[in-house]
Amino acid sequence: MHAFFQAAHMTCRLPAQGGEHTLFDDLEFSMDQGQIVDLVGPSGVGKSTFLMGVAQLDPHCTGELSLEGRDAGGYGMRQWRVLVSYLPQSPMLIGATVADVIRLPWRFAVRRQALATSRRSRAFAAARELVTSKSGVVYGPDDDEIRGALDDLGCADIELHRPSHDLSGGQMARVSLCRTLLTRPKVLLADEVDSGLDDDNAAKVAETMRIAAQRGTSIIRVRHRAPDGLADRIVTLSEGRLL
């Protein structure tokens, strides 16, 4: 029986003076649907690189990836990145306002196609609604859904029309998390999204992820904070091995 998500023979070799540097080699990882797994370890051992390899965003990482028993190659690169979403620690926000930033994924054809063919599209019909904006009609969640998602993350003070360049680092991380969760990925790769937050807001982020996991999203969190009790497992990457 296949695990919900599997990564096998994950290897990363980086160009180095005089040859290559192996960051990790032949790593094996799997998780069930709706699990939360914390990935911990010293700085520089390759935790972020491992997540980027799983998202097929790092050309130096190779391995065999599968989701729901289907090989990653069967999805295609763009579709894989819709289903397996990487959330960086320092996101880049594209869009004039917070609402524009959050609705960005629905501008892409691959997102609209995924929603149109998804078995869950009816359950998440709000994510397919047409929203009228100054620039015309675009796909995306309506204002009420965005407002509720931001409030859950402790961002009640962020107005939807607020310029995106006016956000702090911690606010940017939570807006990016809000956007990613609204796309309902099957696997969320969260790279220290709570590192710049105080304890109260970090707890709100953790609770939001717990709810997402209950809805079926599998989550890998890179963390340096003390355990918060939400992870089903804690995996340590050290000296090129997963423990």
Identify the pLDDT of residue 109: 57
From residue 211, alpha-carbon distances to 34, 71, 81, 154 in Å are 9, 27, 22, 15
Q: What is the CATH number of the domain that holds 60?
A: 3.40.50.300
Residue 37 pLDDT more than 70? yes
* pLDDT mean over 170-199: 94
CA within 13 Å, CB half, 165: 1
In total, how many domains does the chain have?
1
> Is a pLDDT exceeding 50 seen at residue 60?
yes
Per-residue pLDDT, 130: 47
The pLDDT score that the predictor gives to residue 191 is 96
**Residue 108: pLDDT over 90:** no
Half-sphere exposure of 199 (CA within 13 A, CB side): 3
Average pLDDT, the chain: 88
pLDDT for 25 beyond 50? yes
Q: 68-100, pLDDT tens digit by residue?
A: 999 999 999 989 999 999 999 888 899 999 999
Query: Rounded to the nearest 5 degrees, what angle is found at the Cα of 102, between the Cα atoms of 96 and 103?
Result: 90
**Residue range of the domain that includes 104:** 5-242
Residues 7, 63: contact at Cβ < 8 Å? Answer: yes
- Across 187-198, b (16+ Cβ under 10 Å) vs e yields bbbbbbbbbbbe
Helix (H, G, I), strand (E, B) or coil at 228: coil
More confident residue, 113 or 124: 113
**pLDDT value at 223 more than 90:** yes
Which amino acid, 13?
R
